[in-house]
Structure 1
Amino acid sequence: MNKAAKILIYTPSDASTYADMLKEKGFTNVHAATTSEEAEANLPETEILMQWKFPLHLLERPEASSVKWVQSLGAGVDDLMRSTSIREDIVITRVVDQFGGPMSEYVFAQLLYVYQDIARSQAAQKERSWQPFLTQLLQGQTIGIAGLGSIGKEVIRKARAFDMQVYGLSYSGKEAHLVDRHFGPNEWHDFVKDLDVLVLILPLTEQTRHAVNRDVLLAMKPSACLVNIGRGSLIAEEELIDVLRSGHLRAAILDVFEQEPLPADNPLWTLPQAYITPHMSGPSTQERLGQYLLANLRRYGKGEPLTGVVDRKAGY
């Protein structure tokens, strides 16, 4: 690839920002699109598609025959894996090693809010009421991390700083040495039964969809906390709602959902153990993501292996 190869940047919002950044770095044939119509108009002769929520059916068109590489602008590629529109010869890459820091901080910010009962302190302050109380420590608690990729590794590192015991579940087992106990995909019940905190960071595949169902949730301690920063469909959401209504689980800290935005009539908004955030645990700054895209473009130009190549059989 030379810098004149056609690159199409597609996002529903800030595509021109990334296009301008690439142009400033010497890439001369860069186009931006934010609508399906703009994407279709710019698709002919495109070699590299950098996208978020691209209308994938367009890749079935003859105009898309020039596409060789699709770079996702996020970490999740379940939409790409479900699609039958992407030719087998197209290389798919995703963003990796960008989210461990912010997402791990999110996990522990939320856990500390619960364990330190900060809401109680805030309520007392509003009432100007001096009411000392005992809080609980993360120290000595057992945290289970489902998904031991780059984000999971950073959660492990911070959990160690809090002197927590760390269990892990993964489908490959190649990072089993990082945790005190490792479990495989057929050991969910054994994995969760002794946990004080369960953190979900798995990619969404046919194997992981609704992996956390009613049986798994009820196998957890009633006092345990659930944290989902992976994909909403890792959890059978209706079954989670029933379990929370029964009073089981201390907290469900949820940043991702089966339907986003979370509908206003979803019961999770009002359940007392639910802590809801709008898919914000893994922010992608334009500067960091831009540097990532540039580095991968340079690898592509030199014929070097790309970062974040998706294994289509594994689904991530």
Structure 2
Amino acid sequence: MTFLYKASSDRGTQWAKLFAQKAPEIPFRIWPDTGDPAKVRYLAAWQPPEDPARTLPNLEVIFSIGAGVDQFDLSGVPEHIPVVRMIEPGIVEGMVEYVTQAVLTIHRDLLDYQLQQQQKTWDPLPVRAASTRRIGVLGLGVLGTAVLERLKLFGFPCAGWSRSARDIEGVECHAGANTLDTFLARTDILICLLPLTVATRGMLNTALFNKLPRGASLIQTGRGPHLNQDDLLAALASGQLQNAILDVTDPEPLPQTHPLWTHPRVRITPHIASETRPDSAVEVVLDNLRRHQEGLPMIGQIDRSRGY
């Protein structure tokens, strides 16, 4: 029963050490050193090998090392092989930290003050109470829920939107396409934490931006293809949007000549909002291995009909 890791070799080495400490009975290998492919039962990967069922004929489970699986070609993974996305404390904590600082950067006008500093200008702006700045999160999975739980502690009026109904104490929850416009109309800072699916690709576009209050801001920590980048530039130019903080783009990185790099109202970070931490990730994977062996549902197993 071999466990195979296929991603960064440096991180693979860390996983190997943790497996040796916590589960020495499980043979652990790092791609492309598969050993006997017929012995591989479990695969953790950013992207599986092409035709994984042929390459690893006795594969039982594929674990994504990231919070999403949009980088997988699920059409190449047979239906009988469960696909499990990573839900672990390190990813959650990192996302909460990133989104909190991004919201506070916008709320306390730090992008404006950065421009002032470049111009050697000293011009204090009026400070708004958190209670007057309405936060809206697209996507109420584990990450979206954790972000809202933290932001509501600052006193921001918080709302969330998801495809199916959710109930989060102290958060105004909206569900389904018929509630999206109402959600957007009350949102001053929009945070995207949606999974990337056929339905959400390109969702952040002119039509959506125009349903936000004029002067709203965007924090994009979902996936690059959620955003129509030309529509974002147009919304910033018109004043419909005031600021954008982007941790993901399409492609990654953007071409050197892309205007978002130098836009004074845009801050870009290189897809670092959150990442899997080997110590906590291995604990989660080992727990899921136990669940699988005992016939229990695995935490993070995707619903293929939804794509997440």
How do residues 300-311 of structure 1 correspond to structure 2 at under 5 angstroms? 300-311=292-303
Counterpart Cα distance in 1 of 2:288 and 2:249:
30
Which sits farther off after the overlay, 238-247 or 223-232? 238-247
Aligned residues: 305
| Root-mean-square deviation over aligned CA pairs | 2.5
In structure 1, stretches of 5+ residues that fail to align are: none
One-letter amino acid of the structure 2 residue matched with residue 7 of structure 1: F
Counterpart Cα distance in 2 of 1:259 and 1:233:
8
Q: Which digits, 9 at most, give the CA deviation of each residue in 1:30-71, with x for residues without a partner?
A: 1111xxxx167763331111111233x14152x422111001
Matched, 1:22 2:19: yes
Which of 273, 277, 285 aligns to 1:293? It is 285
Alpha-carbon distance, 1:156 to partner: 1.5
Counterpart in the other structure of 2:40: 46
In structure 2, stretches of 5+ residues that fail to align are: none
Matched, 1:83 2:74: yes
- Change over 3 Å in CA distance of 1:65–1:151 after alignment to 2: same
Matched, 1:8 2:4: yes
Matched, 1:117 2:114: no
* SS of residue matched to 1:70: strand
Alpha-carbon distance, 1:141 to partner: 1.6
Counterpart Cα distance in 2 of 1:244 and 1:126:
20
Counterpart Cα distance in 1 of 2:300 and 2:35:
28
- Change over 3 Å in CA distance of 1:141–1:126 after alignment to 2: closer
The TM-score, its normalising length taken from structure 1, stands at 0.87
* SS of residue matched to 1:47: strand
- Change over 3 Å in CA distance of 1:213–1:130 after alignment to 2: closer
* SS of residue matched to 2:191: strand
Does the aligned pair in 1 maintain the 2:135–2:156 contact within 8 Å?
yes
Counterpart in the other structure of 2:275: 283
Q: Point out which structure has higher relative CO (alpha carbons under 8 A, 6+ apart).
A: 2
Counterpart Cα distance in 1 of 2:114 and 2:71:
41
Does the aligned pair in 1 maintain the 2:215–2:239 contact within 8 Å?
no
Overall identity of the aligned pairs, in %: 30
Does the aligned pair in 2 maintain the 1:104–1:158 contact within 8 Å?
yes
Counterpart in the other structure of 2:222: 230
One-letter amino acid of the structure 2 residue matched with residue 265 of structure 1: T
Matched, 1:151 2:143: yes
* SS of residue matched to 2:105: helix
Counterpart in the other structure of 1:241: 233
Counterpart Cα distance in 1 of 2:137 and 2:182:
13
Counterpart in the other structure of 1:204: 196
The TM-score, its normalising length taken from structure 2, stands at 0.89
Does the aligned pair in 2 maintain the 1:100–1:152 contact within 8 Å?
no
Q: Which digits, 9 at most, give the CA deviation of each residue in 1:246-292, with x for residues without a partner?
A: 33211111111121122222221112221111111113222221222
Q: Which digits, 9 at most, give the CA deviation of each residue in 1:45-104, with x for residues without a partner?
A: 31111111233x14152x422111001111111122x43210110011111253333212
Does the aligned pair in 2 maintain the 1:11–1:54 contact within 8 Å?
no
Counterpart in the other structure of 1:32: 30
- Change over 3 Å in CA distance of 1:289–1:79 after alignment to 2: same
Which of 94, 115, 118 aligns to 1:102? It is 94
How do residues 123-138 of structure 1 correspond to structure 2 at under 5 angstroms? 132-138=124-130
Counterpart Cα distance in 1 of 2:163 and 2:213:
24
Counterpart Cα distance in 1 of 2:120 and 2:253:
36
Does the aligned pair in 1 maintain the 2:115–2:264 contact within 8 Å?
no
One-letter amino acid of the structure 2 residue matched with residue 295 of structure 1: D
